[in-house]
């Protein structure tokens, strides 16, 4: 299988790319060429999903990608009234529009071979909502709707589509978002039932399972991997 992981230069995407190298040919994309080269992947494509992504779309077609992991995302912690149109458009472009377009480029090859796996990395914020992250939350919620509709469209072709919604994860993005918020790390951990952050390896191993034949019956699902955060406090 030919796997593409977006946002693989760091964080969750980097760990996913590493984990999946044991099951297929992994290609990666992101903005940092040096970091992508360090992934030891089969190949990489430098691309900023908030801008022109036609080069990445062509890359998907050229490499016959049949496993697409839409991991790349951007987060802004701010009241909606303080955000300008450029910020709003950038978040929706990166978190929702780009994944949809990349999926559209991967589907023809998946249909031809009657097999494929699409995994969208959402967020628990897209399930529950997060104050002062309305654009991020709504863009991630959009991935869930996209996932459910596409799962119905593609089921007869043996293509599964699922979303993983991580809660607080021990990554640079997760820690930076704490710094931007009004809460400390201890205060946030206090709201999580398991009293811990999810490790990126947990997300990566769930991706690996969803790709496997054992998970062929799982499609159209929005899976919360959040240490219990979505259940309540």
CATH of the domain at 102: 3.40.50.720
Q: Which residues contact 197 (CB under 8 A, 6 or more apart)?
A: 167, 168, 169, 170, 174, 189, 227
Ranges of beta strands (E only) in the chain are 2-6, 25-30, 43-46, 67-70, 116-121, 159-166, 222-225
Distance from C-alpha of 193 to C-alpha of 233, rounded to nearest angstrom: 6
Q: Catalytic residue at 136? A: yes
Catalytic, out of 77, 92, 132, 136: 136
Q: What is the pLDDT of residues 132-162, one digit of tens each?
A: 999 999 999 999 999 999 999 999 999 999 9
CB atoms within 10 A of CB 84: 8
Q: What is the pLDDT of residues 199-224, one digit of tens each?
A: 999 999 999 999 999 999 999 999 99
- Whether residue 151 lies inside any domain: the answer is yes
Among the listed residues 157, 169, 155, the one whose alpha carbon sits nearest the alpha carbon of residue 123: 169
Where is average pLDDT lowest: 93-97, 142-146, 183-187?
Answer: 183-187
Interior/surface letters 189-207, b for 16+ CB within 10 angstroms, e for the rest: eeebeeeebbbbebbbebb
Q: Where are the alpha helices (DSSP H) in 78-199?
A: 85-92, 98-113, 125-128, 134-154, 172-180, 185-189
Domain that holds residue 97: 2-225
- Whether residue 22 lies inside any domain: the answer is yes
Domain count, the chain: 1
Whether residue 24 is predicted with pLDDT greater than 90 in this model: the reply is yes
- Whether residue 136 lies inside any domain: the answer is yes
Note the pTM of the prediction, 2 decimals.
0.93
- Whether residue 184 lies inside any domain: the answer is yes
- Whether residue 118 lies inside any domain: the answer is yes
- Whether residue 233 lies inside any domain: the answer is no
Among the listed residues 35, 38, 41, 6, the one whose alpha carbon sits nearest the alpha carbon of residue 22: 41
- Whether residue 230 lies inside any domain: the answer is no
- Whether residue 232 lies inside any domain: the answer is no
């Amino acid at each position: 299988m030919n796997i593409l992981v977006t946002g693989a230069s760091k964080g969750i995407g980097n760990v996913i790319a590493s984990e999946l190298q044991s099951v297929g040919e992994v290609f990666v994309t992101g903005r940092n060429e040096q970091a992508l080269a360090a992934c030891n992947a089969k190949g990489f494509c430098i691309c900023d999903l908030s801008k022109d992504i036609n080069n990445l779309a062509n890359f998907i077609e050229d490499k016959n990608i049949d496993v697409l992991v839409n991991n790349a995302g951007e987060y802004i912690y701010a009241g909606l009234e303080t955000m300008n149109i450029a910020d709003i458009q950038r978040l929706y472009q990166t978190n929702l529009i780009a994944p949809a377009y990349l999926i559209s480029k991967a589907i023809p090859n998946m249909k031809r071979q009657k097999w494929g796996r699409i995994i969208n990395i959402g967020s628990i914020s897209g399930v529950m909502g997060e104050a002062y992250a309305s654009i991020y939350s709504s863009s991630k919620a959009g991935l869930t709707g996209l996932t459910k509709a596409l799962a119905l469209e593609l089921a007869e072709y043996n293509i599964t589509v699922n979303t993983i919604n991580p809660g607080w994860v021990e990554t640079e993005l997760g820690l930076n978002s704490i710094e931007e918020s009004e809460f400390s790390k201890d205060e946030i951990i206090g709201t999580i039932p398991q009293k811990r952050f999810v490790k990126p390896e947990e997300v990566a191993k769930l991706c690996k399972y969803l790709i496997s034949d054992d998970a062929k019956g799982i499609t159209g699902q929005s899976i919360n991997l959040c240490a219990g955060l979505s259940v309540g406090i």
